Structure 1
């Protein structure tokens, strides 16, 4: 009897089977069965056999939900009523296979009305979504764990998708006072400081275009209206198939860190100022002794010792301030086409006294043709000076130091880079030290006596300056006691590029006919008086003052042509004095020269804006001061 029913239904339901095939295509060839309105199975196809494990003979005639032990989303009577009303129903349910295993399926029921004497029936197409549901559950649990973790984090956590923000954690909402709906999509940008938004979005878009890690800083508005600095880092998210989803990231409040950095920079500037002040009169006194002292070889030798040590102290102070510039990324270069050989020659000349003091054999090999590149000649001179001084420092007396430069590589316009190597026969480095050679404060000499001295930032500065020129620097050593080699590679301009003429060294100024009236203002009496004595030897007419009010009083009567003015005086500082001097009609054109221990870029910019002609940092090189006065006399 079952065979007859099955044959009759198959014949009568050809049109329904066609609809079933269409639906099966829609559901990727899902298994198909047919039930009557009492839920009794009247047709069972091969796909249903494969899905549930029952043959057609076993299934046809059975109540489907009893056979499959179905767990419905709602009572069957409600679903059937909806089917009869709408003609179709779709939803998820749980079935059991013949082997007892549980599966989740998505079913689509389609009502076939009575036709050609055939009773109404329900066409069922089913698709197994067990694996998908398992993945969905796992994803949901993972998302819940992520949200729990994110909401417990003290930092701001966010998730971005193609259309903007998709999620922020409780800390983000608590900080901004916003709701999730307000920050979704582009809404988060309303909490970024207007001055920061453009470049912050620019950094994000550049990272987005490369599908790369995003990192930037901006100010975010707190719920009380105060803006705080945040550092944001976002990592790209990808699907298993490699498709890009967006970013997940965090934002950390760095306001206090930035303020600590600012205070550190201010402290270093103040420290450098206070340490430079006592060096100035020492150097001035040494110059006076050189010009007026007896021609005693022993005294001259000791004077040179003092000069060298003062110079070393000055370099250490410069290094101290460079720490702040390095950590802030504030070191800048002024680029122009020039011949790299000029920078190397200047560095060699600067290093010769150090080499001579340790009796090193220094040899330099430069190519005959120019090494023209776009760069900052002063900064690259500093690079090679640091490398040569480093070689001299860490090589025992009587060692060998070599500097070679050559062109390497070829391109459409000729050689593409300059390769400069500085080698020595010094203490060498372990592999660990080679790896850390360019780290801030890293030093080869960690012994208690610290006989070599230094702050350990010279090579860090070298790497930073070389990178600003688009180049690289590497370190190598065969081991302790076997010397070191540093290799700098810098991109060259195409062959035929013209270098800027190197600056000519200042000519020895002639004091005859250049006698000037100079007022020295400094609260450090030794510094002011020793400088005045040196200026007097150079045949200038000099007056001194040790505070602001006295400087103005002396200036009114003396009417100086040049005022060497210390900035950091107590009470009335150098800027106050400059403003008052400009108010005196006879002194409006006086040349103001800042003579100060403050030498950072911000200080130089401030003195320039205040109307100073020059900014000299203590202790001033006497020849630099002498040349400057000669230039002002033109």
Structure 2
């Protein structure tokens, strides 16, 4: 039995007129219309079987495919490949591949040669091809494979390509990557803002308030401990009993925000460390999920500890100021009462000489006390404004201590205290303002004497070492509580034990002493073992051992009779001018008074006094104007001019110098100072218009 003749499969061999292997598509119709005999391929009937199979596969596929055949690489493609060609279709059908893809042939050509010459298939994935398929240059991306197709003689007749354009996908991925990059940048930026926000921020998740996000400021507030991923009150157990659980639960339950101002918060920032107090302004804002349910809480706020303490300090300052004003009124009324009573007593008929002398002593002593109170107030104000000027000069430590002891001695003796002074064996010479330094030490001695029961002990001890001197004033008096040591040198500060005593004072003495010591480049400190156990104040001052006194310190003239002077006093306060005139007349001086600036200038020109004591604030011309007029006149250049005023700031002294005054004294004037001036030969009326003091 003979086998039936083999019939070729229609895909392998089909007559030209058959439609079996060519679909009824745009390319199928174009295939039938093409005069293949006019191409290098020749009529379809003579095509090699492999070419027919490759073309049939391409034309019947919905995936982009093409066949390049022969040495001319004649192009045959399917409908799916048309978008790849763009405006090059339909001219590209049956055309030469090298001409069709001229602009990208540097990329395609070497791969074509690899297939046509060596029979090696190629693979290209998402390769960039810059082409002009639609009359403009564009970047495209393709994945393709070139496979060799053999002819009937076994040689390589052409190549088969299946390809896909990846341009849209690449663009989408690029946009996605760009969006991801921007999103990551935004996340990084937001994270940076979150981490570096000036206030503390945290995100709490769920009903257990688990820390989901926490910024740096939050860690600075609560201490550096692991809290992210942990329930809030497990991470911060010390906060559990401070009312914050109830607040958070209410916000979570009701969905309403909570705003708190200056809330007190006690934290343990280090394991086993001490508890510390903080104050916060905060907002708990509920966070809702897509269903409108509360899913967490956004917490943010600011550490306002410094502001709260500053406000408390202001309130404390106001409280101490009020106490000070009450004390000031008390301290001023104390001397005013004996002054008024003594003045009334002096006017009483039949007063004996002894009683009269005693009353005058009371007035003088109490007026001096009031003047010292006012001087302390003015000095503190000048220090706080940086206007107090020191007159630095070499001064022996022993003389400063002696001056301070002399000032405090009456009070020490009145209370029967024992005083011991121990100074270095070698002379110690400081560069200091002797009056101000003595003022500091006398204040410490007076405090020790005041705040100690009668018959106490005070010890002054000075120790010198290279570069510094320490002066200790120690007593066995009422002492100072430890909590009061921190505020002892503040303005208006008085400890309760001192307030309970009659010698409470204004509470500015130690603040004044501290300012004066610091102006000398030193420091002052206080020590006490507690109430009833005494106190010690230590003044530290810089000291260079090379300092010395040259020629010694001049002795103040004592017992020298005043020279008789012609004096003009100008003051619109009649009582002030007449009482001062009376004092000077008792010393034998010729005194004339004026109540206005114009009157003072006229009398000065008429009388030509040796000394003119001028108030500054007068009607008509003020004291500065009168002094300037006197200095411009030939007859007034040798006159001694003294400004006597209630204004004692550094700027007031500068104005006095500019106006031509020789001296600048604040009221009330010390009569001993006046007498010393008048007793100095050649001083008054000597044409000296030096710097006003």
TM interval, shorter chain, is 0.5 to 0.7
Q: Which of the residues 432, 443, 453 maps onto 1:375?
A: 432
1:364–1:144 distance in 2 versus 1, CA, 3 Å: closer
1:583–1:36 distance in 2 versus 1, CA, 3 Å: closer
Q: Which residues of 2 match residues 29-428 of structure 1 at below 5 A? A: 36-37=126-127, 76-78=169-171, 94=180, 135-141=188-194, 296-408=353-465, 415-428=466-479
User: Cα deviation per residue 1:351-383 (whole Å; 9 max; x = unaligned)?
Assistant: 222323333322222122122333333322222
Q: Which of the residues 549, 553, 574 maps onto 2:602?
A: 553
Q: Which of the residues 549, 553, 560 maps onto 1:510?
A: 560
Give the match's secondary structure for 2:379. Answer: helix
Q: Which of the residues 626, 629, 646 maps onto 1:577?
A: 626
Does the Cα contact within 8 Å between 1:319 and 1:455 map onto a contact in 2?
no
Does the Cα contact within 8 Å between 1:339 and 1:373 map onto a contact in 2?
yes
Does the Cα contact within 8 Å between 1:511 and 1:539 map onto a contact in 2?
no
Does the Cα contact within 8 Å between 2:451 and 2:498 map onto a contact in 1?
no
Does the Cα contact within 8 Å between 2:476 and 2:535 map onto a contact in 1?
yes
| Residues 1:604 and 2:653 are matched in the alignment | yes
User: Cα deviation per residue 1:418-452 (whole Å; 9 max; x = unaligned)?
Assistant: 11111123222111221111111101257877732
1:587–1:333 distance in 2 versus 1, CA, 3 Å: closer
User: Cα deviation per residue 1:549-576 (whole Å; 9 max; x = unaligned)?
Assistant: 3323332332211011111223432123
Structure 1 CA distance, aligned partners of 2:495 and 2:595?
45
1:545–1:369 distance in 2 versus 1, CA, 3 Å: same
Report deviation, 1:405.
0.7
Q: Which residues of 2 match residues 474-513 of structure 1 at below 5 A? A: 474-493=525-544, 495-499=545-549, 503-508=553-558, 510-511=560-561
Structure 1 CA distance, aligned partners of 2:522 and 2:528?
21
Structure 2 CA distance, aligned partners of 1:419 and 1:427?
23
Report deviation, 1:141.
4.2
Report deviation, 1:628.
1.3
Larger radius of gyration between Structure 1 and Structure 2: 2
Report deviation, 1:135.
4.6
Report deviation, 1:140.
3.4
1:613–1:332 distance in 2 versus 1, CA, 3 Å: closer
TM-score normalised to structure 1 length? 0.54
Structure 2 CA distance, aligned partners of 1:295 and 1:628?
34
Structure 1 CA distance, aligned partners of 2:509 and 2:550?
28
Does the Cα contact within 8 Å between 1:562 and 1:591 map onto a contact in 2?
yes
1:448–1:507 distance in 2 versus 1, CA, 3 Å: closer
Does the Cα contact within 8 Å between 1:509 and 1:626 map onto a contact in 2?
no
TM-score normalised to structure 2 length? 0.50
Does the Cα contact within 8 Å between 1:338 and 1:502 map onto a contact in 2?
no
Does the Cα contact within 8 Å between 1:407 and 1:419 map onto a contact in 2?
yes
Does the Cα contact within 8 Å between 1:419 and 1:487 map onto a contact in 2?
yes
Structure 2 CA distance, aligned partners of 1:363 and 1:301?
32
Give the match's secondary structure for 2:679. Answer: helix
Give the match's secondary structure for 1:556. Answer: helix
Structure 1 CA distance, aligned partners of 2:530 and 2:198?
51
Per the alignment, residue 4 of structure 2 pairs with none
1:141–1:499 distance in 2 versus 1, CA, 3 Å: same
Does the Cα contact within 8 Å between 1:338 and 1:500 map onto a contact in 2?
no
Per the alignment, residue 54 of structure 2 pairs with none
Gaps of 5+ in 1: 1-33, 43-62, 66-73, 83-88, 95-104, 107-128, 149-267, 409-414
Structure 1 CA distance, aligned partners of 2:632 and 2:392?
39
Report deviation, 1:625.
0.9
Report deviation, 1:313.
0.7
| Residues 1:470 and 2:515 are matched in the alignment | no
Does the Cα contact within 8 Å between 2:392 and 2:432 map onto a contact in 1?
yes
Report deviation, 1:347.
1.4
Gaps of 5+ in 2: 1-123, 128-140, 146-163, 202-324, 687-693
Structure 1 CA distance, aligned partners of 2:197 and 2:535?
55
